[in-house]
Amino acid sequence: MSALSGHIEVRDLNISFKAKSGTVQAVKSVSIDVQPGEFVSLIGPSGCGKSTLMNAVAGFTRTNSGTLTLDGKSIEGPGADRGVVFQQYSLFPWMTVRKNVEFGLKMQGMAQSQRQTQARTLLGLAGLLAFEDHYPSQLSGGMKQRVGIVRALATSPQVLLMDEPFGALDSQTRSVMQEILTNMWQRLRLSVLFITHDIEEAIFLSDRIYVMTARPGRVKAEIVVPLPRPRKPEMMDTPEFGALIRDIKKLIREESLAAMGSELSQGGCEGLSTDVGPEGVRHVL
């Protein structure tokens, strides 16, 4: 897991879908970078295309134009060089925890005894060894997601792509998971592209944050998080952290209002007032 590899480069990316109402532009001329060993978050209002962007990097979604490269090589489809952690629990229900973790190694053709040893080592580091023979249905949400992360890391990818991985967890578990992740990243130093709509989560974890606009998704701002490493939960109470939250909140709020405003002006407020547009909402709020 060399810190020299794992450079994601996205240039002028456009992605659109065919929907009933016509073509929907999900991502519009987006250019982002993740440097080797860097933790980068994508944050924005729901429906801003951040998951679409991540799916494109993972190789699940076809792009319309622009370039997507990992270490200079064009991304053509999904592959084991990019580990993915999904928002929904994506463990194979028919495999035990250990078999789930072993799966990527098995696909690489590693011998059974070797991959079993490796999976057990990883599970031990994650504190999950006692659960190696459990099925996913026997685990709590937080544990499932930890197994999901361990599974994504088992094949030693250069990059970890995480699509709102803690979105389905309760806030207690969530903050514990954030700590686990930042500690883990501190040790492994691999490139992470992290999707979230939680501002504090993005600041706590990231070196850099891209704020995306409402559909069509564009990069509105890039924010460098100057907080020292390793990150500790106490940092969330510092004035610097508070200032960062306020900055990003303001950026996102403008975007959310713009998104809601366009819906409102399209008839959501019919009969209330004729001139309630984005500006009107801004005054009311």
Partner 1 sequence: MGLTDRHAMEVPPTTAVPANPTGHRPSLSAIQGGKPAQAEAPHKFNWSDWLDTGLAKGILGTISIGGVLLAWYLATRFQLDFYVRFGNIPTPMDVLDKVREVNQSTRFLTNVGISVRRVVFGFMIACVLGITLGILIGRYKLFRALSMPALEIFRPIPAIAWVPMAIMLWPSNEVSIVFITFLGAFFPILINTIHGVEEIDEVLFRAAQSLGTREIDLILYVVIPGALQHIFTGLSVGMGVAWVSLIAAEMISGQFGIGYFTWEAYSLISYAEIALGMITIGILGLLCSKAIQLTSKLAMPWMGAAGGKK
* Least Å from the CB of residue 182 to partner 1: 10
Task: Report the residue from 7, 50, 82, 115 that binds partner 1 according to the rule CB under 8 A.
Answer: 82
Furthest C-alpha separation in the chain: 71
Task: Report the residue from 98, 115, 151, 174 that binds partner 1 according to the rule CB under 8 A.
Answer: 151
Of the pair 69, 175, the CB lying nearest partner 1 is at 175
* Least Å from the CB of residue 67 to partner 1: 20
Contact between 199 and partner 1 by CB under 8 A: the answer reads no
* Least Å from the CB of residue 14 to partner 1: 22
Contact between 145 and partner 1 by CB under 8 A: the answer reads no
Of the pair 58, 257, the CB lying nearest partner 1 is at 58
Given the rule CB under 8 A, which of 26-34, 45-53, 175-183, 242-250 is the region that contacts partner 1? 175-183
Q: Which residues contact 100 (CB under 8 A, 6 or more apart)?
A: 91, 92, 136, 147, 151
* Least Å from the CB of residue 206 to partner 1: 18
Of the pair 167, 277, the CB lying nearest partner 1 is at 167
Q: Which residues contact 253 (CB under 8 A, 6 or more apart)?
A: none
Task: Report the residue from 43, 53, 70, 103 that binds partner 1 according to the rule CB under 8 A.
Answer: 103
* Least Å from the CB of residue 145 to partner 1: 11
Contact between 111 and partner 1 by CB under 8 A: the answer reads no
Contact between 171 and partner 1 by CB under 8 A: the answer reads no
Contact between 165 and partner 1 by CB under 8 A: the answer reads no
Whether the Cβ atoms of residue 59 and residue 83 lie closer than 8 Å to each other: no
Matching residue, tokens 């078999």: 99
Could you give the strand order of the β-sheet that contains 22-34, starting from the edge strand earlier in sequence? 22-34, 8-19, 65-70, 73-74
Q: Which residues contact 129 (CB under 8 A, 6 or more apart)?
A: 120, 123
State the virtual CA torsion across 92, 96, 98, 104 in degrees, nearest 10. -30
- Tokens (6 digits) for 51: 């998951």
> Taking the CB of residue 111, how many other CB atoms lie within 10 A of it?
10
Give me the residues paired with residue 53 across strands.
none
Contact between 172 and partner 1 by CB under 8 A: the answer reads yes
Contact between 143 and partner 1 by CB under 8 A: the answer reads yes
Q: Between residue 14 and residue 53, which ones bind partner 1 under the rule CB under 8 A?
A: none
Buried b (16+ CB within 10 A) or exposed e, 201-212: bbbbbbbbbbbb
> Taking the CB of residue 76, how many other CB atoms lie within 10 A of it?
8
Q: Which residues bind partner 1 (CB under 8 A)?
A: 58-60, 77-80, 82-84, 86, 88, 90-95, 103-104, 107-108, 125-128, 130-131, 133-140, 142-143, 146, 151-152, 155, 161, 172-173, 176, 179-180, 183, 232-233
